[in-house]
Structure 1
Amino acid sequence: MSSKQRRERLKAEVHKSILVAAMSIIKNEGAEALSIRKIADIIEYSPTIIYAYFLNKEAVLIELARQGYTMLIEITQNRLALVSDPKERLEVMLSAYIQFALNENELYQLMYTTGSSVPNVEKSFPALASFMNLYREQMQLITGGTLLEDTFYSNYLVCVSFIHGLALINRYYKDIDPEMNNIVFKKAVKGIISTIEFS
Structure 2
Amino acid sequence: MSSKERMQRYKDKIYNGILDAAMEILKTEGCESLSVRKIADKIEYSVPVIYSYFLNKEAVLIELSRKGFTKLITCIEKSLKGLISPEERMEAMLSTLIEFAHKEKELNQLMYSVGVHVIDVEETFPVLKVISDLFRKELNDLKAGEIISEDSFRSTYLTFLSIAHRLVAVNHYYKNIDPAINSIVLKKTVHAILQPIDA
TM-score > 0.5 by shorter chain: yes
**Mapped contact 1:122–1:129 kept (Cα < 8 A):** yes
- Farther off after superposition, 184-193 or 158-167: 184-193
Alignment of 1:178-189 (within 5 A): 180-189=177-186
CA displacement at 1:46 relative to structure 2: 0.5
* Residue type of the alignment partner of 2:62: I
**Given that residues 36 and 56 in structure 1 are in contact (C-alpha distance below 8 angstroms), is that contact kept between their aligned partners in structure 2?**
yes
Q: Which residue of 1 aligns with 2:193?
A: 195
CA RMSD of aligned residues (A): 1.4
Alpha-carbon distance, 1:182 to partner: 0.8
**How many angstroms apart in 1 are the aligned matches of 2:189 and 2:65?**
25
Does residue 5 (structure 1) correspond to residue 2 (structure 2)? The answer is no
Percent of counterpart pairs with the same letter?
A: 45
Aligned pairs (5 A) from 1:8-157: 8-144=8-144, 145-157=146-158
The aligned amino acid for 1:91 is E
CA distance in 2, matches of 1:35, 1:191: 43
Match of 2:159 in 1: 158
Quote the offset at 1:163 in angstroms. Answer: 1.4
**Cα-to-partner distance string for 1:81-135 (whole Å, 9 max, x where unaligned):** 2212222111111111111111111111101100111110000000011111110
For residues 32 and 94 of structure 1, what CA distance do their matches in structure 2 show? 29
In terms of mean alpha carbon deviation, does 119-128 or 98-107 score higher?
98-107
TM-score, normalised to structure 2's length?
Answer: 0.92
For residue 117 of structure 2, give the secondary structure of its aligned residue in structure 1. coil
Larger displacement relative to structure 2 (84-93 or 125-134): 84-93
Q: CA deviation at 1:23?
A: 1.1
What is the identity, as a one-letter code, of the residue corresponding to 1:55?
Answer: L
State the AA in 2 paired with 1:195: I
The answer to whether the 8 A contact 1:158-1:192 is kept is no
Q: Give secondary structure in 2 for the equivalent of 1:147.
A: coil
CA distance in structure 2 between the aligned counterparts of 1:166 and 1:109, rounded to whole angstroms? 14
- 1:169 aligned residue: 170
Q: Which runs of 5+ in 1 are unaligned?
A: none
Shift of residue 4, structure 1, vs aligned partner: 1.3
**Displacement of 1:2:** 1.7
- Unaligned stretches of 5+ residues in structure 2: none
Q: Contact between 1:101 and 1:163, CA under 8 Å: does it hold in 2?
A: no
Distance change in 2, residues 1:8/1:122 (3 Å) = same
